[in-house]
């Protein structure tokens, strides 16, 4: 597989099933599919979790992304106000 290529969840589940259900070795499946063994181990851990746990983790990740974006905006606004305050304090002297 080419580097940076996005693989579908279905592909990942099928790869994991070859290891879990059919009993193939991780290295064998990884070689056959052209992926790294690390990816396959990661997918196995990911898809071993119940769907509702995965969904909850995705929701938390999305919420965290929004909170970080809001924090960056508020921090930028604060920095602008600090600079303006310093500028006007210098001008009034």
Q: What is the pLDDT of residues 13-24, one digit of tens each?
A: 999 999 988 889
Indicate the burial class of 32 (C-beta count within 10 angstroms; 0-12, 13-18, 19 or more).
Answer: exposed
Number of domains in the chain: 2
The DSSP 8-state label assigned to residue 49 in this structure reads S
Taking only the tens place, the pLDDT of each residue in 30-87 is: 999 999 999 999 999 988 778 788 789 889 999 999 999 999 999 999 999 999 998 8
Range(s) of the domain holding residue 75 = 51-93
Specify whether 63 is located in the same domain as 89. Answer: yes
* Global pTM value: 0.53
User: How many Cα atoms occupy the beta-carbon half-sphere of 25 within 13 Å?
Assistant: 3
Specify whether 35 is located in the same domain as 69. Answer: no
């Amino acid at each position: 597989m080419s580097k940076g290529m996005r693989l579908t969840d279905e592909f990942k589940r099928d790869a994991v099933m070859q290891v879990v259900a059919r009993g193939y070795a991780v290295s064998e499946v990884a070689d056959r599919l052209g992926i790294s063994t690390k990816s396959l181990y990661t997918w196995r851990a990911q898809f071993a979790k119940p769907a509702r746990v995965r969904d909850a983790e995705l929701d938390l990740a999305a919420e965290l992304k929004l909170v970080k974006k809001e924090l960056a905006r508020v921090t930028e606004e604060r920095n602008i106000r600090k600079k303006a305050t310093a500028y006007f304090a210098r001008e009034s002297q």
